[in-house]
Chains A and B, each alone.
Chain A
Amino acid sequence: MSTAQTVEIHVHEQACRGCEMCVDICPTKVFGFDEDKRLCTVGHAQDCIACLSCAYICPSGAITHSNYHQVKNFYRDLEFSKRMGKFL
């Protein structure tokens, strides 16, 4: 059933501040932490579900993803938003 593809995760070492927030938030423990360099590292990219929480939470925007499924965006679908607005 799974249609997941292997997500590519890029950590920009010069931007990473070593706060470990990505390590804490990742539900599948994709990230590790290099104690010597004080930088986060990508340990098991194959486990990434592309929730993008790491990229959103990273205070320095050091994490980017590629080769993942971007969810459909309803923000500009006024008709859909009008209908769903009744429930929210």
Chain B
Amino acid sequence: MEEAIGESANSISYLAGKNLGKNLSRTIPKTDNLEQALQATRDVLVKNGFLWLFETFKMHDQPDLVQQTPEGQEISLVFRDCMIRQSLFRFGHCQKGSLCTMMNGFFAGALETVMGADSALEIIHAGENACMKKLTIRSAGGAA
């Protein structure tokens, strides 16, 4: 995609993901609880047959799943079966490209609809069998 579209590939993927996130999460009940919002988002993906599933993750020495930071709430997510990753490998492309940005957009769209909050999904590690990402839900007073 980067070769065909150029520098705007990331933006286009992000917006495509955001639209998908908004559309799929329309029926989810609104909540302020991050864990409930993520579970509902996951259920929607399963229901619609998207192979794009994620799990929450907590290190052994981490007290809580959701961590409060000056920027907002942070939670680690692990992505295992991912249609993007498997396709990239099939065609010999690198990870962390524009298609991975689509997931960032998906969460931005879904969580904006469900929680009414701005979010950021950062790729911590892109592995061969699983990826680890950090989801930050920005609080109203947090940095943008």
Contacts and interface: CB of A to CB of B under 8 A. Distances in A.
B87 A74 contact: yes
A72 interface: yes
A44 B60 contact: yes
A1 B132 contact: no
Contact residues of A: prevailing secondary structure: loop
A69 B80 CA distance: 8
A46 interface: yes
Interface residues of A, number: 29
Interface stretch (B23-31, B109-117, B123-131, B135-143): B123-131
A28 B83 CA distance: 23
Given A72-B51, A74-B90, A88-B93, A51 B59 contact: no
Contact of B39 (A1, A70, A71, A85): A1
A3 B55 contact: yes
Contact of B88 (A51, A73, A88): A88
Contacts of B125: 27, 51, 53
